[in-house]
Each structure stands twice: as C-alpha cells, then as structure tokens.
Amino acid sequence: MPLTLENQGNFGPAAKMGKLAIDSGQLAGAELGRAYIILGVAYQGEGSLIDAHIAYERAVLLEGDPEHLEEYAAAMENYAGYYTDLGELEVAVPLWSKAFHLRQQIGDHTGLTLALIHQAGVALARTKISDAREYLKKASDEMKLAHDLMDGDVALFFETNGWLGLAERRPSEALGGC
C-alpha cells in the first residue's frame, strides 16, 4: 500500500504507512530493507531530506545478503539519487557504481540500462563528457537486451543523449536525442 501511494505522488501518507510498518516490529531482513527504501523515497518526495537520509542509511542492512541483491541494488540507486538530487556528486558516484555492479551480477539488463543512464547524467553534471558518451553507448547496447523498459526509461535515455549533444555542441543531435 505505501508503494502504491508513493507511485501516485502521495508521499506523506506513504511515509506514515511505511513508518507504521517498520515500527510494528513485524518486519525483518529483506522486508525491512524494502520498507526503509520505500520510506526513504517517500520522505525524499515530501522534502524531508534528513528523514530520507536516515531511512536510506537503514536500508543498507541488505548489504551482504546474497538472496536479495536486487533489493540492495535498489537501495543503492535510491541513495545515489538522493545524493545526486542534493548535488553531492562525489558521494553519489560510488553508490551508482555499486548499484551498477550489483545489477551486472544478477544479470538485470533493465537495471543496468538505467544505472548507465544515471551514471551518464552524473558524468555530464561533472563535465566528464567522454565518460558520459561511454555510459550512453553502453546503455544503448544494454537497451537491446532489456525487454521491460518503460516509456519513461526510454525517454530518460533520449533526454540524457540530448544533453550530451548539447555538451558536445552538436545541437542537431541534441534535438533528435541521438
């Protein structure tokens, strides 16, 4: 239920429900880690950045759990996104990298594609244009193997590719997105 509320942009109610679930003491292991991820995203969505940070810190309890690598990758991605949104790119970069390696380990082509797109965006923000180009090339290759990308994911790829075109002073490619 908190995830549904969160997906609808109802971050306040999602945070309250997530907090209740965690405080119930009935969650453990991966369930608790997932609840902290949801709580972190909900807090971040409502602008409670300190609470989001605390929730993401607690979500890393999934580290070292070989049965829940996907959840741990999601925790790293959300935590990296948090630091990216704050403009703390030096903190975000290793988190994005860790998420990428976890997605690689489990063979998640959709997750790899998105991790590469996000890494390209961070590289662009850091004016590391050649790194961004390389990430987007790899993302393009991964997209061919990812069969469950959503329209928003593809749009993010083209948008990031457009930003790369602008950074490389290729306006025609920036407008076309590729």
Domain spans of the chain, in order of start: 1-88, 108-178
40 by Cβ neighbours in 10 Å (0-12 / 13-18 / 19+) ranks as: buried
Q: At residue 133, does pLDDT exceed 60? A: yes
> Domain 1-88 adopts which CATH fold?
1.25.40
Are 102 and 73 spatial neighbours (Cβ–Cβ below 8 Å)? yes
Going by the DSSP 8-state scheme, the letter that residue 83 receives in this structure is H
Residue 36: closest CA among 65, 79, 4:
79
| pLDDT tens for each residue of 81-94 | 999 989 999 999 99
| pLDDT tens for each residue of 20-79 | 889 888 988 888 888 898 899 889 988 899 999 999 988 887 777 778 888 889 889 989
**Range 149-156 average pLDDT:** 92
What are the residue ranges of helices labelled H in 46-68?
49-59
Q: At residue 156, does pLDDT exceed 60? A: yes
- Look up the pTM and report it: 0.77
